[in-house]
């Protein structure tokens, strides 16, 4: 694998700079925000104010207006270290609110900083950088999610997948963080451990928001053990000796630092929704596997414990890949999970931000499908009616199939998310 990986989001960021006064690049530490920020700055022949540098941080705290003054664009890295800088940016925009004035990057969710959110309301556009997608890693152009909203029948191919269960275990375990991808074996494990220590110490300890820092790693491990499941914060807290309210606060900090994704319930206004509780997903499957001490050879075993863990991590892995592709769409969809009181569930529901069209996704770790596996998607189709665009069951087997006569309910190998889709039609059904 080459260490030079092209990001799909770079061209999108250039475009959005031309539409908004402030562009925010946010995402986990080491995901590549600084690299992208510097590439954009180089394109515009501008400097980067790096607030990870203690000297620059201190100077910017003393005189924030100086660091954001002058003609744009101005590029600021790790802006959350000096939130006063956002007020100075607001003052600059009051004088000149033209597009492309500022590009800022940070490792904390914008919504987690209330004062910041208020100061730039209506002037800021957010782009979340995710770990590299499998297509970016393999230098392949991915468009499956876009095709599902446009022409779902066209994604079904007669060409069999050659990706094996062991291949999936390897991809899950490596994840998509750039510096993890250039390592393997024990070196990668050490890097994941250092990455987690850095995230927890720099982003959570320093602000003084955590009274029991020794509980953070154990709690994050418990959340990883619940990945792809409806999150039980009380149980996770009990396991490490934390009150439910404290555990909930810390888990929200994990989300704010882009370690954990809390996938909301979809369809709260629909009938028979069983719970509004979110599903927990680790943002990077490699981080999850490391927290659970699941190297690829252990993850690929066929004993009951490994099979269950493999199933949860496969779902988290696919959810991550879907989020990456959804972030490239012109109209970003809302995403959630759906579960009813009678046990019907769909792992992912994507609702178009353009016309409200719905795509449902279920994820199976097995290679063979049963008729019962269609239940969630068929019920979702009945509920949303004409808004239903497509339903997909991703699996680890080799073949695509149509699951009904409409061509909108289909089964696909997981690797169709990143492999080119052959145009050859398919005749078989499952």
What is the Cα–Cα distance from 413 to 366, expressed in whole angstroms?
10
pLDDT for position 275: 57
Reported as a pLDDT band with limits 50, 70 and 90, residue 75 is very high
What is the Cα–Cα distance from 343 to 136, expressed in whole angstroms?
36
Quote the tokens at residue 346: 């769909």
Q: What is the side-by-side order of every strand in the sheet holding 358-363? A: 334-339, 345-351, 358-363, 388-395, 409-413, 401-402
pLDDT for position 9: 94
pLDDT for position 429: 47
| pTM metric for this prediction | 0.92
pLDDT for position 206: 58
Quote the tokens at residue 180: 């993890």
Reported as a pLDDT band with limits 50, 70 and 90, residue 112 is low
The answer to whether residue 88 scores a pLDDT higher than 70 is yes
pLDDT for position 195: 95
pLDDT for position 54: 93
pLDDT for position 272: 47
The answer to whether residue 399 scores a pLDDT higher than 50 is yes
**Percent above pLDDT 90 for the chain:** 74
pLDDT for position 211: 81
Q: Count of alpha carbons within 13 Å of 113, Cβ hemisphere only?
A: 23
Quote the tokens at residue 79: 């802006």
pLDDT digits (tens, 9 = 90+) for 151-163: 998 999 999 999 9
Average pLDDT taken over every residue of the chain: 90
pLDDT digits (tens, 9 = 90+) for 191-232: 999 999 988 887 776 556 678 888 999 999 999 999 999 988
Domain ranges of the chain: 9-128, 134-417
Quote the tokens at residue 420: 């080119």
pLDDT digits (tens, 9 = 90+) for 167-199: 999 999 999 999 999 999 999 999 999 999 988
301-305 mean pLDDT = 87
pLDDT for position 3: 56
The answer to whether residue 2 scores a pLDDT higher than 50 is no
Q: Report how far apart, in Å, the C-alpha atoms of 408 and of each of 70, 148, 365, 404 are.
A: 53, 9, 21, 7
| Residue of 195, 190, 178, 245 whose CA lies nearest to 33 | 178
144-150 mean pLDDT = 96
- Three-state SS across the chain? CCCCCCCCHHHHHHHHHCCCCEEEEECCCCCCHHHHHHHHHHHCCCCEEECCCHHHHHHHHHCHHHHHCCCCCEEEECHHHCCHHHHHHHHHHHHCCCCCCEEEEECCCHHHCHHHHHHCCCCEEEEECCCCCHHHHHCCCCCHHHHHHHCHHHHCCCCCCCCCHHHHHHHHHHCCCHHHHCCCHHHHHHHHHHHHHHHHHHHHHCCCCCCCHHHHHHHHHHHHHCCCEECCHHHHHHHCCCCHHHHHHHHHHHHHCCCEEEECECCCCCCCECCCCCEEEECCHHHHHHHCCCCHHHHCCCCHHHHHHHHHHHHHHHHHHHHHHHCCCCCCCEEEEEEECCCCEEEEEEECCCCCCEEEEEECCCCCCCHHHHHHHHHHHHHHHHHEEEEEEEECCCCCEECCCCCCEEEEEHHHHCCCCCCCCCCCEC
Minimum mean pLDDT range among 119-133, 195-209, 311-325, 367-381:
195-209
pLDDT digits (tens, 9 = 90+) for 328-380: 999 999 999 999 888 889 999 999 999 999 999 999 999 999 999 999 999 99
pLDDT for position 306: 84
What is the Cα–Cα distance from 156 to 427, expressed in whole angstroms?
10
The answer to whether residue 103 scores a pLDDT higher than 60 is yes
pLDDT for position 116: 60
47-72 mean pLDDT = 92
The answer to whether residue 274 scores a pLDDT higher than 60 is no
Contact 110, 26 (CB under 8 A): yes
Please provide the CATH number assigned to the domain covering 9-128. 3.40.50.300
């Amino acid at each position: 694998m080459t260490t030079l990986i092209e990001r799909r989001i770079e061209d999108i960021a250039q475009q959005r700079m031309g539409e908004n006064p402030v562009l925010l690049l946010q995402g986990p530490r080491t995901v590549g925000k600084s690299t992208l920020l510097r590439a954009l700055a180089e394109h515009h022949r501008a400097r980067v104010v790096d607030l990870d540098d203690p000297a620059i941080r201190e100077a910017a705290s003393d005189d924030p207006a100086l660091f954001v003054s002058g003609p744009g664009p101005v590029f600021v890295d790790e802006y959350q270290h000096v939130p006063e800088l956002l007020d100075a940016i607001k003052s600059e925009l009051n004088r000149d609110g033209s597009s492309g004035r500022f590009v800022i990057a940070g490792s904390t969710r914008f919504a987690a900083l209330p004062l910041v959110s208020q100061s730039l309301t209506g002037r800021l556009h957010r782009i979340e950088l995710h770990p590299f997608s499998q297509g970016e890693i393999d230098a392949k152009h991915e468009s499956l999610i876009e095709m599902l909203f446009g022409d779902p029948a066209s994604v079904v191919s007669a060409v069999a997948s050659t990706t094996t269960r062991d291949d999936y275990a390897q991809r899950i375990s490596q994840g998509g963080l750039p510096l993890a991808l250039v390592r393997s074996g024990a070196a990668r494990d050490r890097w994941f451990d250092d990455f987690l220590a850095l995230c927890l110490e720099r982003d959570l300890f320093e602000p003084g928001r955590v009274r029991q820092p020794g509980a953070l790693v154990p709690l994050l491990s418990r959340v990883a053990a619940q990945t792809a499941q409806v999150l039980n914060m009380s149980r996770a807290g009990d396991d490490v000796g934390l009150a439910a309210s404290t555990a909930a606060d810390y888990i929200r900090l994990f989300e704010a630092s882009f370690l954990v994704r809390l996938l909301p319930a979809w369809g709260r206004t629909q009938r028979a929704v069983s719970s509004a509780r979110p599903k927990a997903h680790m943002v990077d499957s490699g981080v999850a596997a490391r927290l659970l001490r699941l190297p690829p050879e252990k993850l690929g075993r066929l004993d009951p414990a490994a099979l269950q863990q493999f199933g949860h991590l496969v779902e988290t892995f696919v959810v991550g890949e879907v989020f990456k592709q959804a972030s490239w769409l012109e109209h970003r969809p809302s995403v959630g999970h759906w579960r009813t009181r009678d046990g019907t569930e769909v792992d992912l529901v994507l609702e178009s931000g353009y016309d409200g069209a719905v795509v449902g996704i279920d994820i199976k770790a097995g290679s063979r499908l049963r008729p019962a596996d269609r239940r969630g998607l068929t019920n979702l189709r009945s509920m949303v009616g004409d808004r239903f665009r497509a339903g997909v069951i991703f699996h680890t087997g080799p073949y695509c199939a149509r699951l009904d006569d409409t061509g909108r309910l289909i089964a696909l190998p997981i690797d169709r998310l990143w492999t080119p889709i052959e145009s050859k039609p398919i005749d078989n059904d499952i």
